[in-house]
A and B are shown apart, each in its own frame.
Chain A
Amino acid sequence: MEIAYPVGLVVVAAAIIIGFTALVREKDDLQRILLVDLAEVLGLVLIALVATDLAEALILPGLVVGISELLAVSEVYIAREGLKEPTGPAFRLEVMESAPGILALILVAHGIILSGFTGGAIAAVGAVFYFMCRGHNEQFELIETVSGYAWAIWIAAFLIFMFLPQYWFFGVMMAGGAILVKVMAKMSLVGTMRRGGPDV
């Protein structure tokens, strides 16, 4: 196992050189955004080579920061180039009419069983898929309110850890459930950004 780390480092170094050469030689801005996504993968490989729990603890926030950075950069690009939504008849797929119900149900149920941050992310992917395929007309104030209460419960769970450590299991359950709802509420907003209406 000792030889794997230097070999991995050499491979990643070669990959980084190739990737950044492509990035430097690229003139088109949107192609550059795509290559930045590639650079993110290379950074994650570098962290994954650490091969301990520390690697996992570093990869999770890296992924979250990466996706939010990608969202922000793509929004800036759309605003700067003044790109409009494509006109004409919307893209229709039969599977996008029938699949969302059952697939979203499975993903949300699996997320609730997992609980915690990862569970929230999995459940949110189900919600994102449902919103993208079926459209949405829900009240954003409601999602924000639920998310706010979840955050308060999460903080309360930490207060239990600090002042009533003998009830730690109750605190774990509160924190796990609250972060599930919180992450899911935030990430499901991503699903509403496509086309912005119920007529997907």
Chain B
Amino acid sequence: MTPEFILGCIILIIGVIAAGFPREKTYLARLIHLEIPGFGLLLIMLAYDEMLALLTFIGVTAISTFVLVRVIERKEAAE
């Protein structure tokens, strides 16, 4: 039970609640809230020294944000 692990678990739970039931239910708010559980996952990976997985997760998150922003901007332009 390292401090990183405990902090990661707490941030994960907070992030899941924040992303699942955001106060403002806009697409962008939910997309930003999705970063919080991602950070919890990063801290848990850090606690277990999973360096490769951590770096790849950061890279893939950047791309998935681009993909989701592309869909959201088209959806909001259509509304």
Give residues in A with beta carbon < 8 Å to B.
1, 3-4, 7-8, 11-12, 14-15, 18-19, 21-23, 30-31, 33-35, 37-38, 41-42, 44-45, 48-49, 51, 55-56, 59-60, 63-64, 66-67, 70-71, 74, 77-78, 81, 83-87, 118, 121-122, 124-125, 128, 132, 187, 190, 193-194
Give 22 CB contacts A-B under 8 Å.
A4-B5, A15-B37, A22-B19, A22-B20, A31-B27, A31-B30, A33-B71, A38-B37, A42-B16, A44-B41, A48-B41, A51-B50, A63-B53, A63-B56, A64-B60, A70-B67, A83-B71, A83-B74, A83-B78, A118-B52, A121-B56, A125-B63
Pairwise interchain contact B71-A121, C-beta atoms closer than 8 A: no
Known pairs A56-B50, A81-B75; A45 contacts B12 (CB<8 A): yes
Residues of B within 8 A of A (CB): 1-2, 5, 9, 12-13, 16-17, 19-21, 25, 27, 30-31, 34, 37-38, 40-41, 44-45, 47-48, 50, 52-53, 55-57, 59-60, 62-64, 66-68, 70-75, 77-78
The verdict on A41 contacting B78 (CB below 8 Å), with A15-B12, A125-B62 known, is no
Q: Is there contact, CB below 8 Å, between A78 and B59?
A: no
Contact with B77, one of A14, A21, A84 (Cβ below 8 angstroms): A84
Secondary structure at chain B's binding surface: helix, strand, loop or mixed? helix
Task: Report how far A143 CA is from B11 CA in the complex, Å.
Answer: 41
